[in-house]
């Protein structure tokens, strides 16, 4: 039995689907019982409801599980402490394997959302758990899905960062497949892996691919943080910590981008080419057009 924490999020649902496709049993931990149906459709055989900050609830959910998948909540001030506590719970409850989805380049100290990932990694390395640490680059779906309405209505691909800087991207479905491999095979045990598709892209590049896919012009535009879906959702910017985190993120990305884009590790793990940005966009379009 694999406990998937944060199972109702995009990554959690994808991980649940990937695990069950490989024959693994999943116990999904969700905050809201209303999401149980979607998690069940993804393949979870058991569902535990609770707040991730309720460590007693997490411990009850971990009981009897052989593995735990953990991805930290976005811009939570106590993320590092929470991640360490979950690792300690895994050790106490007899969990054997722990897969942590962190972030690409966690050593970038200027970024508040990177620091806790590095602290969680450090804590995990001090245990005797069969760990796998994944460091995914920027998820392709984030700005595209949240800004899709503007793409269609206005021909504008809006991102919170300069359209001139280059960034590395990855498909979260590819990351989920790696998570499933980490739990169902031995070859990723006690490894740390950077996960990225091949290449770096500016927002202008992405707008160009959208233009080709849609058959009509799309231009890139930098938008205000409070209009940027991933930042504005769930009231994140109301938190001083999150607001400062996104401010630093914007300042850093506008200056340096998010460099990388070496797909060798992901290709080696998957045994195929990682999903490219063009392929992801084409798949997203097909999904939007299919009733």
Q: What is the pLDDT of residues 74-127, one digit of tens each?
A: 888 999 999 999 999 999 999 999 999 999 999 999 999 999 999 999 999 999
**Whole-angstrom Cα distance, residue 197 to residue 209?**
16
Summarize pLDDT for 160-195 with one digit per residue, the tens: 999 999 999 999 999 999 999 999 999 999 999 999
The token duo for 115 is 């620091």
pLDDT of residue 50: 93
pLDDT recorded at residue 175: 98
pLDDT value at residue 148:
86
Instruction: Dump strand ranges (E) for 161-291.
Output: 167-170, 191-195, 200-201, 219-222
167-170 and 200-201: which strand pairing? Answer: antiparallel
Residue 114 belongs to some domain of the structure: yes
Which segment of 75-79, 217-221, 232-236 scores lowest on mean pLDDT? 232-236
Q: 23 in a domain, yes or no?
A: yes
* Position 218 in a domain: no
Answer whether residue 133 is part of any domain. Answer: yes
CA nearest neighbour of 102 among 23, 170, 21 = 170
117: domain range? 2-138+171-196+260-274
pLDDT at position 180 is 98
Does residue 117 lie within any of the structural domains? yes
Distance CA 160, CA 8 (A): 25
pLDDT score at 220: 95
Q: Of 120, 144, 125, which Cα lies nearest the Cα of 5?
A: 120
Supply angle C-alpha 142, 228, 79, rounded to 5. Answer: 65
What CATH number did the domain enclosing 58 receive? 3.40.50.720
pLDDT averaged over every residue in the chain: 92
Please enumerate in sequence order all residues whose Cβ is within 8 A of that of 273, keeping only pairs 6 or more positions apart, or say none: 198, 263, 267
Contact between residue 38 and residue 32 where contact means Cβ atoms under 8 Å apart:
no
Q: Answer whether residue 283 is part of any domain.
A: no
276: pLDDT strictly greater than 80: yes
Residue 148 included in any domain: no
pLDDT of residue 73: 87
Is pLDDT at 238 greater than 80 in this prediction? no
- Report yes or no on 109 lying in a domain: yes
Burial of 175-211, coded b for 16+ CB within 10 Å and e otherwise, reads bbbbbbbbbbeeebeeebbbbbbbbbbbbebbbbbbe
Beta pairing class for 46-49 and 191-195: unpaired
| Structure tokens given for 211 | 């233009």
Which stretches of 104-193 are DSSP H helices?
115-125, 141-146, 148-154, 172-184
Instruction: Give residue 96's pLDDT.
Output: 98
pLDDT of 290 over the 70 cut:
no
Overall size of the chain counted in residues: 291
Looking at the 3D structure of the chain, how many domains does it have? 1
pLDDT of the residue at 233: 61
CB 248 within 8 A of CB 180: no
- Asked whether residue 229 carries a pLDDT value surpassing 90, the answer given is no
Sole residue written with tokens 């070859």: 187
Give the span between the Cα atoms of 107 and 267, in whole angstroms. Answer: 23
> What pTM did the predictor assign?
0.94
Res 146 pLDDT > 80: no
Higher pLDDT, 103 or 145: 103
């Amino acid at each position: 039995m694999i406990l998937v924490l944060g199972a109702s999020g995009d990554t959690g649902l994808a991980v649940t689907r990937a695990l069950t496709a490989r024959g693994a049993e999943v116990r999904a931990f969700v905050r809201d019982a209303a999401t149980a149906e979607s998690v069940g459709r993804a393949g979870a055989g058991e569902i535990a409801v609770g707040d991730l900050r309720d460590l007693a609830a997490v411990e009850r959910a971990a009981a009897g599980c052989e593995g735990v998948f953990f991805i930290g909540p976005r811009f939570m001030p106590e993320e590092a402490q929470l991640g360490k506590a979950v690792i300690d719970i895994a050790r106490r409850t007899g969990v054997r394997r722990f897969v942590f989805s962190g972030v690409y380049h966690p050593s970038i100290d200027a970024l508040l959302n990177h620091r806790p990932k590095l602290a969680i990694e450090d804590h995990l390395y001090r245990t005797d758990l069969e760990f796998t640490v994944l460091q995914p680059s920027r998820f392709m779906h984030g700005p595209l899905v949240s800004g899709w309405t503007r793409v269609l209505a206005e021909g504008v691909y809006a991102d919170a960062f300069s359209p001139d800087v280059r960034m590395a991207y990855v498909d979260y479905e590819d990351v989920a497949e790696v998570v499933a491999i980490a739990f169902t095979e031995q070859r990723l045990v006690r490894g740390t892996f950077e996960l990225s598709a091949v290449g770096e892209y500016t927002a202008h590049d992405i707008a160009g691919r959208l233009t080709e896919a849609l058959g009509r012009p799309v231009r890139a535009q930098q938008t205000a943080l409070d209009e940027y879906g991933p930042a504005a959702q769930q009231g994140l910017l109301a938190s001083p910590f999150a607001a400062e985190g996104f401010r630093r993120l914007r300042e850093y990305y506008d200056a340096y981008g998010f460099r990388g884009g070496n797909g060798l590790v992901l290709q080696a793990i998957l045994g195929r080419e990682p999903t490219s940005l063009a392929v992801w966009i084409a798949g997203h379009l097909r999904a939007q057009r299919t009733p």
